[in-house]
Amino acid sequence: MINKAKEFIFSPAIYGTLIVSIGLIIGSVFAYLLQFFLGRLLSTEQFGTFNALLSVGNIASVPIGILSASLIKISSELLGKGDFEKLTLIFWKILFYKYI
């Protein structure tokens, strides 16, 4: 039973999920501490400006998240079909637009 539990915990999917979850928790703690200390150190106007800019960054991340999810779906479908020509073309187009 213990061996099966160890095997389950150290499977790549569970282990990767655990690592990402721990990273998200640590990031959330630091984000809370940042808000707390900036709330103490900045004036009301400066703190409001900081939160407004933080909100703009969060709003900008929504379309980027949508595009990345779509790109992952398209890439996995092409990889599943074995259509490496289209996959390579998508890669080079993204690389081209990234550096323009």
User: How would you write the pLDDT of the chain (100 residues) with one tens digit per residue?
Assistant: 778 877 777 788 888 888 999 999 999 999 999 999 999 999 999 999 999 999 999 998 999 889 888 888 988 888 888 888 888 888 888 888 777 7
Instruction: Enter the DSSP assignment of 42.
Output: S
Q: What pLDDT, on the 0 to 100 scale, is given for residue 6?
A: 77
Residue 2 and residue 30 in one domain? yes
Residue pair 38/47 in contact by the 8 Å Cβ criterion: yes
Residue 51 and residue 85 in one domain? yes
Would you report the helix, strand and coil content of the chain in percent, each value rounded to 5?
90, 0, 10
Residue 35 and residue 67 in one domain? no
Residue 72 and residue 88 in one domain? yes
The domain in which residue 69 lies consists of 45-100
Q: Tell me if the pTM is above 0.75.
A: no
Residue pair 50/42 in contact by the 8 Å Cβ criterion: yes
Q: How distant, in Å, are the alpha carbons of 8, 69, 95 from that of 83?
A: 34, 19, 19
Residue 3 and residue 36 in one domain? yes
**Backbone phi and psi for residue 43, each to the nearest 5 degrees, phi listed first:** -75, 170
Q: What pLDDT, on the 0 to 100 scale, is given for residue 50?
A: 92
Residue 54 and residue 34 in one domain? no
Any idea which residue has 């949508």 for tokens? 66
Task: Look at the chain and report how many structural domains it folds into.
Answer: 2
Residue 17 and residue 57 in one domain? no
